[in-house]
Amino acid sequence: MTAPSFVPDTALPEPVLVERAQDGDDSAFEILLRRHQDTVYRITLRILREPGDARDAAQEALITAWRKLPTLREPAGFGAWLRRIAGRRALNVLRARADTDPIDEESAPDLPGREPDAEVLAGDLREALSRALSGLPPSQRTCWVLREMEGWGYEEIAEVVDATPTAVRGRIHRARAHLVKALAPWR
């Protein structure tokens, strides 16, 4: 007699795990979280640019996903659904921050007279990009980050920001124009 084959829960296809989690299997949802938590955090960090806020937003997105999991109609779409929740949560935090925090308009520091090494220059460019992104309105920043850094499609971004794909294209266009102007010294 042969032993029955055993498929570890971690090897189960995502739709099966989602269905199990919807039926109340906490361990199935835990596996889903482990699979997606890094992506959720990366999205919130890229939008918010602050690790503490990003961790909080990611955690809130995961809690929201747990609470709303029974409403998910297409288990195969879990990953995209969770990314949209994370994007919306980060956008809400960014909007709240924009209402309370003044934008830092400090100009970029002058580069030293001697040629810096590539690592220092790359760090300075990343800092300049971060400052330029901070100067964008929350909706433009979110659209740009999701498109250019995460590779999302216009329709998926439109769902997150509650806009049409055409409006998303316009926001990304305006964001690019702002970034080109802000990063002109780096050309």
CB burial readout 134-156, b (16+ within 10 A) else e: bebbbbbbbbbbbbeebebebeb
* pLDDT score of 115: 46
Amino acid identity, position 166: T
* pLDDT score of 61: 95
Does the predicted TM-score (pTM) go above 0.75?
A: no
pLDDT 10s per residue in the chain (187 long)?
Answer: 444 444 445 688 999 999 999 999 999 999 999 999 999 999 999 899 889 999 999 999 999 999 999 999 999 999 999 999 999 999 999 888 776 654 443 333 343 444 445 445 556 677 778 888 888 898 899 999 999 888 999 999 998 888 999 999 999 999 999 988 988 877 7
Interior CA angle at 21 toward 17 and 25, to 5°? 105
* pLDDT score of 102: 46
DSSP secondary structure string for all residues of 107-163: PPPPPPSSPPPHHHHHHHHHHHHHHHHHTS-HHHHHHHIIIIIT---HHHHHHHHTS
Residues 6+ apart with CB under 8 A from 60: 89
